[in-house]
Structure 1
């Protein structure tokens, strides 16, 4: 009897996994079924809708993205189309264009496609080069962002990629032990390797041919857009009471990145 129950549980678990995998595949394939409408298709679609209908759908898209952004989770185009745009998919390009304009004009944010293959969007601060306001990560407003800032600083100062052991050892020196539950962050290791990775602040990549298996960290796509390397260098200078220019390579990289960012910003304007 016990063996039959165990067998039944195994079969049930296996079936559940197959269903779950099938669902995930279906979700992943959802975007493959969506073809970006042509300009003429969009125009014909708009002729069948009232301006109020398009505005209402745009507002729903904006709200959906803002809710997702509270957890800093990238938004998939497939999810937008499936859960929000729905029957308005023929005018999707117009809706997303209006949503982008709303984010810029109303919220001072920029909707950016960070993954052109999987069509994933994030919101980043849309700040002019002349604006003195820092991004949420440059001046961390909460402890979790402060934790991220420390990790990004270590990665930048070490050339853009570091083995995970260096991160764990650095945090231990700051009395944040990844092996122990932290009263502020909870499971530190999970926050860093799961939450920050899903939010695209960090990349956590397995190093090939390592035994036991080792991983390394890099800046994620969102960090590249939101975080100023020059700000990080200033932070490190203050921390070590050292002129940021004494780190020659990092100083050159930071200010080169700042220059290209300003050029890109002025080109968009």
Structure 2
């Protein structure tokens, strides 16, 4: 496999990842076709595998397949920590809002309806009349597009929020549970179901290489 194609793939992924929107497999193929006439499935798999190795060794990132058909990619930090958030969201207010929403979903142990989410964020003083439209847009569109949240419509006025695939990789559940426990001055194990899920959370380093081998 020509090293240049792998390097071009790495450069494209890094540039394209700047907006954090998942990268479609067809986008990468189209970019590579600027340098070769065609890219076979095997060639593409080898290029992606090579790009993943460079991202890990040089940049400290990992390439992860996401989407219902595993046909999209996200780039996350390689470090696998259970006591730190790996989210690359820069805006502190957006980050605070996202963590609050994910924590509420996690502690509820089931999808959260939108009216319940708005009430929670209002009570937490993260949503008010002045910023209501912005907050709703962030949760229903921006965070959903970035795959931090999954937003499913259940009727014209309601939707349900769940954790998105990016959140599963970047946001350690034990970190969130520890923060809740600190706020209530108790042990994380007090919340039995949430504690069990946090303890059972797999190491993402163990799954990424296998995911990348599923390219068709």
Question: Partner of 1:235 in structure 2?
Answer: 179
Q: 2:101 aligns with which of 128, 151, 159?
A: 151
Q: 1:181 aligns with which of 112, 131, 138?
A: 131
The answer as to 2:70 corresponding to 1:126 is: no
Which runs of structure 1 show a deviation greater than 6 angstroms over 4 or more consecutive aligned residues?
Answer: 138-141
Question: Partner of 1:222 in structure 2?
Answer: 166
Question: Partner of 1:203 in structure 2?
Answer: 150
Question: Partner of 1:82 in structure 2?
Answer: 30
Q: Does the aligned pair in 2 maintain the 1:138–1:231 contact within 8 Å?
A: no
Counterpart CA distance in 2 for 1:76 and 1:66 is 14
Deviates more, 1:109-118 or 1:142-151: 109-118
SS of the aligned residue for 2:19 comes to coil
Please state how far the C-alpha of 1:140 moved relative to its aligned partner. Answer: 8.0
Say what the alpha-carbon RMSD is for the aligned residues: 2.9
Please state how far the C-alpha of 1:221 moved relative to its aligned partner. Answer: 0.7
Please state how far the C-alpha of 1:149 moved relative to its aligned partner. Answer: 0.7
Paired residues in the alignment total 206
Question: Partner of 1:107 in structure 2?
Answer: 59
Which has a greater percent of helix? 1
Counterpart CA distance in 2 for 1:216 and 1:249 is 21
What is the TM-score with the length of structure 1 in the denominator?
0.68
Q: 1:166 aligns with which of 87, 111, 116?
A: 116
Which stretches in structure 1 are left out of the alignment for 5+ residues? 1-45, 47-53
Indicate how the Cα distance of structure 1 residues 177 and 141 shifts in structure 2: closer, same or farther if over 3 A, else same. closer
CA offset digits 1:107-157 (Å, max 9, x no partner): 1111011126261011122224xx687333399872211211110000000
